[in-house]
Structure 1
């Protein structure tokens, strides 16, 4: 049985992905850090449609919490066969003069270290050399990794640049172990993350600058993630799908 872990699975792209994977037959683990009610809502929606899902609270920046989460999944559903590294944070829009080491390290510990830790635990369960049956990982990066997010989130953009490099390196490292590793790079998507940066209406402010003249929906990103995890993408690894309206 396919078991999918979606980090940051309670809202935005994570929520849309969790719901879509459940419709596709996965047992879904909805990871969240703080918002239990949102995670429970996703789980209840999946169960109400006849699917299987559980919610697990864990801060992916904390190594022990990540390890405990994977053991809990082992016990509930069996080993993870699909990992969606989606949890991510950003802070108030800022130029570099206002950045502090604490903020930078906080962003990196969740957006980079957290992805590494989840990949590590997933590979331990998926890799042929560990007796696994293979699997698929999709890292959620951002168009910011290409564009740099000047004057807004250079720290966040840099963290997503690291995610891109992790994707490339890990894809090569585990290809012969039956594990595919790919990446999606969303652009301006209608999610709550913009409010974290102090501008909830950011997408509407800048959408006319995009070739497609509109922001994207979480469900559009989820479709790409689901495809990359599926057997339809069985010969795809180390690849990047940009979902940024042409930008």
Structure 2
């Protein structure tokens, strides 16, 4: 597939963890992939190289989703690849464990800007391209939420949990808003997944510590989250919208 009819997937935070797994899996299914990263250019390029080595098309764009200009640049890069048909709002951050009475405004603003505002900005740009109301031909959006939204994250990251609760509400509202415009909007809510995000939150041993205590006796893998994401974007999920798929191993 080439030119203007190439289906393009935008994957935010696509250089590592779940985003990397999603990018590789979507490329295998014929998408050109436009992935964003913030600081790890080497990891982002490695994903691009892995895709192109198998004959696919991909580009990595340095983009902080909490900055509108960066989001616009990300989607402009995606437009150069072809027609945007999928968005995976994967970019998100955690912070070190803290109680609410220990949290400062800077932490809260950073958390909400990246996890909530960033996802909404990216969805806005996707809708402008996909919606039949705007001359598009439809598409799919999958937002990465978390089981933290229903567990609350007490004593660790109530702010992160709250940001994912907002993603749950946003997913349902946007799904109903654009259901008649050819766009399906869903979410996945991972549990304990073996990725680098735990180290960024100051707990590099979190998977080893909590994994064995999960109902399935282990943490999940990035690929085990990516597969439901890709399914939600496929024609097999043609009548699925407004859903939030629990991928927590019954946590």
With normalisation by structure 2, the TM-score equals 0.96
> 1:195-233 deviations in whole A, cap 9, x for unaligned?
011111102211233211110000000000000000010
Q: CA deviation at 1:113?
A: 0.1
Aligned twin of 1:140: 144
Aligned equivalent of 1:60, options 57, 65, 77: 65
Q: TM-score, normalized by length of structure 1?
A: 0.98
**1:169 alignment partner in structure 2:** 173
Unpaired runs of 5+ in structure 2?
1-5
Query: Matched residues in 2 for 1:4 and 1:197: separation?
Result: 28
Cα deviation digits, residues 20-74 of structure 1 (max 9, x gap): 0001111011111111110000000000111111111111000111112212221
Q: 1:80 Cα shift?
A: 1.3
* Structure 1 outlier segments of 4+, above 4 Å: none
SS at match of 1:16: helix
What aligned pairs does 1:92-241 form with structure 2 within 5 A after superposition?
92-241=96-245
Q: Which residue of 1 aligns with 2:3?
A: none
Contact 2:34–2:77 (CA<8 Å) still a contact in 1? no
1:79 Cα offset (Å) = 3.2
CA distance in 2, matches of 1:197, 1:151: 13
SS across alignment from 1:80? strand
Q: Give 1:29's aligned residue.
A: 34
Q: Provide the rounded CA distance (Å) in 2 between the counterparts of 1:201 and 1:143.
A: 19
RMSD (Å), alpha carbons: 0.8
| Structure 2 Cα separation of the partners of residues 131 and 232 of structure 1 | 24
SS at match of 2:97: coil
Q: What is the aligned partner in structure 2 of residue 69 from structure 1?
A: 74
Shift of 1:164: 0.4
| Distance (whole Å) between structure 2 residues aligned to residue 2 and residue 70 of structure 1 | 13
SS of corresponding position for 1:91: coil
* CA–CA separation in structure 2 for the residues paired with 1:183 and 1:7: 14
Q: How does 1:72-87 map to 2 (within 5 A)?
A: 72-74=77-79, 76-87=80-91
User: Which secondary structure state, in structure 2, belongs to the residue aligned with residue 212 of structure 1?
Assistant: coil
| Unmatched 5+ stretches in structure 1 | none
Paired residue for 2:44? 39
